[in-house]
Structure 1
């Protein structure tokens, strides 16, 4: 199964570190981003375990999860004053594009399809972590007051 490989353990450790850091250090956008990425990853794991994932054809459940994640990240990018959600949405768009390419040309090898679809989660998490690192929370006496 998907969770029985070393790469899967490394990914979920990276997910835990990046999302945990975002929750501890980030603002509202980082909280939502961490939630979107965690929910997407856990939903993908559940679908892959329930229905199996051979990556030899379009994984409809995983594709649907990726599309919902893309819509959520685009919405976050529009609503946020931060720059990192645009990067995360762009990386998620690349993951969705890999699924779309598999729809158009099902002769893509399972290794290329699986690797291409999963790879873009790492830069997304990295964008979240960098965005959290750049989040500056000013002390109450240093905030700019309007009017």
Structure 2
């Protein structure tokens, strides 16, 4: 998965948000980022790298469902808005797997576009949640 320049450049925001979440975030931000990084590493092992010819991948679908459950659990347990946004973007990813499964797609490029853009949206939600948690701690004088 890291064999193209695009995937290597796409790794940069994930690493930056990960560092920010683990250093400045509270428990929900660290849990979400940890799950996101573990999911990304598992996706490296599960992904079928046949490009646009690939079809539905049950391993990737299961991985995305687990990530949806993690983000849904964070939205349920912690009263913050960013896990709801992240879970809704993850739900879009899961639904695009379902569209691919039932062959109701305009093409695999649309699937990859949805998955990549929603992934960046999830990273943005985790990053914003980390920033808000950090600012709340600074305003309370805890940092």
Where structure 2 has 5 or more consecutive residues not aligned to the other structure, the ranges are: none
Is the 8 Å Cα contact of residues 89 and 119 (structure 2) preserved in structure 1? yes
Q: What's the counterpart of residue 54 of structure 1?
A: 51
Report the count of equivalent residues.
Answer: 137
- TM-score by structure 1 length? 0.85
Describe the SS at the equivalent of 1:139. Answer: coil
Deviation at 1:106, TM superposition (A): 5.7
Q: What's the counterpart of residue 92 of structure 1?
A: 90
Is the 8 Å Cα contact of residues 57 and 106 (structure 1) preserved in structure 2? no
Deviation at 1:124, TM superposition (A): 0.2
Separation in 2, partners of 1:85, 1:53:
32
Deviation at 1:99, TM superposition (A): 0.3
Query: Judging changes above 3 Å, is the alpha-carbon distance between structure 1 residues 131 and 101 closer, same or farther for their aligned structure 2 residues?
Result: same
Provide the alpha-carbon RMSD of the alignment: 1.6
Decide which structure has the larger Cα Rg and report it: 1
Correspondences of 1:19-58 after superposition (within 5 Å): 19-48=18-47, 51-55=48-52, 56-58=54-56
Is the 8 Å Cα contact of residues 29 and 82 (structure 1) preserved in structure 2? no
Where structure 1 has 5 or more consecutive residues not aligned to the other structure, the ranges are: 141-147
Query: Which portions of structure 1, spanning 4 or more consecutive aligned residues, are displaced by more than 3 angstroms?
Result: 51-55
- TM-score by structure 2 length? 0.87
1:131 and 2:120 matched: no
